[in-house]
Amino acid sequence: MNKKDKKYLENYSIHDFDIPLTSVDMVIFAMINAKLNVLLVERVEAPQQGMLALPGGFIDLQKDEDITATAYRKLYEKTAIKSPYLEQVETIGNKSRDIRGWSVTVLYYALINVDKIKQQKSQNSVWMPVEQALKIPLAFDHIELIEKAQNRLREKTLYTALPVELMPELFTLTELQTVFETILAKKLPIKSFRRRILNANILHATDKSKLSGKRHAQLFKSTGIDREYYFPRTLVL
């Protein structure tokens, strides 16, 4: 730091300027009973006390190195999971989204296997099917935020194997295809889907199977998402 900057900072205060409320909001997705669910929490304080909202909160200037660190911290506070798939969606800011005044939020979405957090659910949180959550009053502009995150997830599902992040430890190819179809709200050709998934080299075929209908289906496990891999063509034309 040069002398001029040091002298400038001696008399500088960020509070001399109007600054917006700045927070992170999390759309946490999981598959429950063959439906895409989102985690909601009941607000225990004003404003909009008692309403359901997305988990999130303000940046901790002492704890958080950057905005993504805030997102991971808030996610861990609600799910006790440290390293799921996490992606920034959009930054939204205006003077109408929060009754307290000008507000900015950085929106993230996360994909998790709900089996890992069943014991971590807090008393004021609830999993709800996305289609149901979008039909009830939510705090602030959180319906819009869920829609933005859902649209991003659908877009990524068209050309990546991202939904594998929602799967349990072991699953069949049929179960995986069902998750893709649930997200896209479309049926997919079985042969084409399986070819693309297996060519992506993200699944490990185990020596285990489970009864599916009248026959046993082989169980697979994820070897981890290659985030640089994209399908040659989108799943739905």
Question: Tens digits of per-residue pLDDT, 192-232?
Answer: 999 999 988 889 999 999 887 778 899 999 988 777 778 88
* Confidence check: pLDDT of 78 > 90: no
Exposed/middle/buried for residue 153 (C-beta within 10 Å: 0-12, 13-18, 19+): buried
For residues 49 and 123, state if they share a domain. Answer: yes
For residues 206 and 134, state if they share a domain. Answer: no
Sole residue written with tokens 């933005």: 148
Q: Is 1 inside any structural domain?
A: no
Higher local confidence (pLDDT), 39 or 211: 39
For residues 97 and 46, state if they share a domain. Answer: yes
For residues 135 and 185, state if they share a domain. Answer: no
pLDDT mean over 171-186: 96
Domain boundary among 156, 180, 206: 156
Pairing of strands 103-111, 21-32: parallel
For residues 165 and 125, state if they share a domain. Answer: no
For residues 138 and 170, state if they share a domain. Answer: no
Q: How confident is the model at residue 237 (pLDDT cuts 50, 70, 90)?
A: low
Where does residue 33 fall: left (phi above 0), alpha (psi -120 to 50 degrees), or beta otherwise?
left
Q: Is 234 inside any structural domain?
A: no
Identify the CATH number of the domain in which residue 179 sits: 1.10.10.10
For residues 127 and 147, state if they share a domain. Answer: yes
For residues 131 and 98, state if they share a domain. Answer: yes
Q: Look at residues 202, 185, 199, 194 and name the one whose alpha carbon lies nearest to residue 236.
A: 185
Identify the CATH number of the domain in which residue 51 sits: 3.90.79.10
Enter the tokens of residue 52. 């359901």
Q: Which of 13-22, 116-125, 168-177 has the highest mean pLDDT?
A: 168-177
Task: Supply the pLDDT for residue 175.
Answer: 96
For residues 110 and 200, state if they share a domain. Answer: no
Domain boundary among 140, 156, 172: 156
The per-residue pLDDT for range 145-177, each reduced to its tens digit, is 999 999 999 999 999 999 999 999 999 999 999
Q: Are the beta carbons of 59 and 88 closer than 8 angstroms?
A: no
For residues 112 and 185, state if they share a domain. Answer: no
pLDDT mean over 171-198: 95
Cα(55)–Cα(58) distance, integer angstroms:
11
Q: Is 8 inside any structural domain?
A: no
Q: Is 230 inside any structural domain?
A: no
For residues 25 and 103, state if they share a domain. Answer: yes
> Can you give the residue range of the structural domain that contains 217?
160-222
- Quote the distance between the C-alpha of residue 228 and its chain's center: 19
* Confidence check: pLDDT of 99 > 90: no
Q: Are the beta carbons of 229 and 205 closer than 8 angstroms?
A: no
Q: Is 66 inside any structural domain?
A: yes
Q: Is 237 inside any structural domain?
A: no
Q: How far is the first Cα of the chain from the last one, in angstroms, to the nearest whole number?
A: 55
Looking at the DSSP bridge assignments, the partners of residue 22 are: 104
Instruction: Give the chain's domain count.
Output: 2
Phi, psi of 85 (to 5 degrees): -75, 125
Domain boundary among 107, 127, 156: 156
Q: Is 95 inside any structural domain?
A: yes
For residues 50 and 134, state if they share a domain. Answer: yes
pLDDT mean over 42-52: 90
Q: Is 229 inside any structural domain?
A: no
